[in-house]
Amino acid sequence: MGTMPLMAAIGVAAPRAFRLGWRRFSECASAAFGAAASTASGAERPQIAPQIAALLEADAYDYHLPEGRIADRPVTWREGSAPRDASRLLCLDTDARACDVRPGGGGGGAAWGGLRHGRFKDIAHVLPRDSLIVMNDSRVVAGRLVLRKEGTGGAIELLLIAPTTDDSAAGDGSSDTPPPTTQQLDAAFAAHSGAAVWRCMVRGRNVRSGLVASTRDDAGATFRAEIIRRAGKIATARFAWEMGGPPASFGAALERFGRVPLPPYMRRDATDADRASYQTVYARQAGSAAAPTAGLHFTPSLLASLRSDRTRGTRTCHVTLHVGLGTFVPISHGNALSHAMHAEAFTVTRATLRALGDQLRRKKKEGEGEGEGGRGKRARNKKK
């Protein structure tokens, strides 16, 4: 299958063997998910291959992970002035060629399925030649708001989901709720005080329609939320703020009063330092509730080095996919087919589409060349 780094939040155009293996898996998975659709419509459910059926069980992903192995702080904090790309890199060798992450490493000698440990800064020596790295440039919003009820002082938390209107139903955050587009998000972050209305995940006791909660900073600036309605864990809230000086946008108010919504497994409160560290260096479009995590390890200098190394031919392009509510919703059913996936908005530019098309054509041509070479070699051996 080729040597592939374990990176989930960026896409790398893979070698031909990997694509063929993934294609086979995709066919099986499509059959499995198609079976779920057929069952929902009353048709008889086709039999799912045992290998795929096992992967659809949530228990297949349970394993022991010691607390001490869960990094709750980035490498830039743990190792003083270490850069992002000083983080560790685990590489899985899948075809008997070594996954050598040493600078200038060429591989050799690793057993099939071997694991190698290295540093992310040496990712160039792991990526296949002529790779196309597709990076998600969505920016994490400081959308976690900790407020106090006016009157009682009780604490509530709101996590922004999506902009809405004050006359729309709060909904239950189900998967059929359409995600906001980039244009809608831009308009929502530009809204002025009193005009910002959002659906939010809510935490706190006795959070009902009409409740008002607020906070004030040391400079006297205030931020206020009024709960318009609530349905389950989802509420619709209208926000108002006063920061002194010219009218400020909702985006500016969030930068002042909001907190970065760190993943629950970190088990710590966000700090001001997280505003920079829990953000990729290429983040541009605000809209995500969580960072595309694997991309956090890139640095500007590493990206520049990858693009300038013509001997390896690595190129990059961007998409925008806003990570939404679904990232915080655990699988509550025993089988993945029963889990309702939430929609997430994405944008792909024409330039990225052209880059992807060129990459696919290039890899297809290389694959055909390998096939011709293999057939020719077999023919020569047969004549001998």
Looking at the fold, whether 110 and 153 belong to one and the same domain comes out as no
The answer to whether residue 133 is domain-embedded is yes
Two tokens, residue 305? 């080095």
End of a domain among 204, 235, 258? 258
Which runs of E-coded beta strand occur in 306-358?
A: 315-321, 346-347
| Structure confidence at residue 215 (pLDDT) | 96
Q: Which of 162, 84, 140, 132 is nearest to 321 (CA)?
A: 140
Phi, psi (5° rounding) for residue 65? Answer: -130, 105
The answer to whether residue 270 is domain-embedded is no
The answer to whether residue 380 is domain-embedded is no
* Angle in degrees, 0-180, between the axes of helices 182-189 and 250-257, rounded to the nearest 10: 70
Amino acid letter, residue 318: H
Looking at the fold, whether 232 and 125 belong to one and the same domain comes out as no
Looking at the fold, whether 130 and 149 belong to one and the same domain comes out as no
Looking at the fold, whether 254 and 293 belong to one and the same domain comes out as no
Burial of 270 (0-12, 13-18, 19+ CB in 10 A): middle
Looking at the fold, whether 67 and 116 belong to one and the same domain comes out as yes
The answer to whether residue 159 is domain-embedded is yes
Two tokens, residue 168? 């729309």
CB 172 within 8 A of CB 342: no
The answer to whether residue 370 is domain-embedded is no
Task: Tell me how long the chain is.
Answer: 384
107 in helix, strand or coil?
A: coil
The answer to whether residue 167 is domain-embedded is yes
352 in helix, strand or coil?
A: helix
| Structure confidence at residue 268 (pLDDT) | 87
| Structure confidence at residue 80 (pLDDT) | 67
Looking at the fold, whether 173 and 118 belong to one and the same domain comes out as no
**What pLDDT tens digit does each residue of the chain (384 aa) get?**
333 333 333 334 333 333 334 344 444 445 444 444 444 444 454 566 777 777 788 888 888 888 888 888 888 877 667 899 999 888 887 654 444 545 444 443 333 457 888 899 999 988 888 999 999 999 999 999 999 999 899 999 999 988 998 665 544 445 556 788 888 999 999 999 999 999 999 999 999 999 999 999 999 999 999 999 999 989 999 999 999 888 999 999 999 999 999 888 788 888 888 988 999 999 999 999 889 888 999 999 999 999 998 888 999 999 999 988 778 777 777 888 888 878 888 999 999 999 999 999 988 888 777 666 555 555 555 554
| Structure confidence at residue 5 (pLDDT) | 37
Cα(355)–Cα(225) distance, integer angstroms: 44
Number of domains making up the chain:
2
How many Cβ atoms are within 10 Å of 364's Cβ, its own excluded? 12
Looking at the fold, whether 305 and 244 belong to one and the same domain comes out as no
The pTM is what? Answer: 0.75
Looking at the fold, whether 10 and 107 belong to one and the same domain comes out as yes
Looking at the fold, whether 41 and 79 belong to one and the same domain comes out as yes
Looking at the fold, whether 125 and 154 belong to one and the same domain comes out as no
CB 6 within 8 A of CB 100: no
The answer to whether residue 147 is domain-embedded is yes
Cα(291)–Cα(299) distance, integer angstroms: 15
Q: Which of 186, 131, 193 is nearest to 163 (CA)?
A: 186
How many Cβ atoms are within 10 Å of 329's Cβ, its own excluded? 16
- Which domain does 235 fall in, by range? 143-258
Looking at the fold, whether 151 and 115 belong to one and the same domain comes out as no
Looking at the fold, whether 121 and 98 belong to one and the same domain comes out as yes
The answer to whether residue 377 is domain-embedded is no
| Structure confidence at residue 204 (pLDDT) | 94
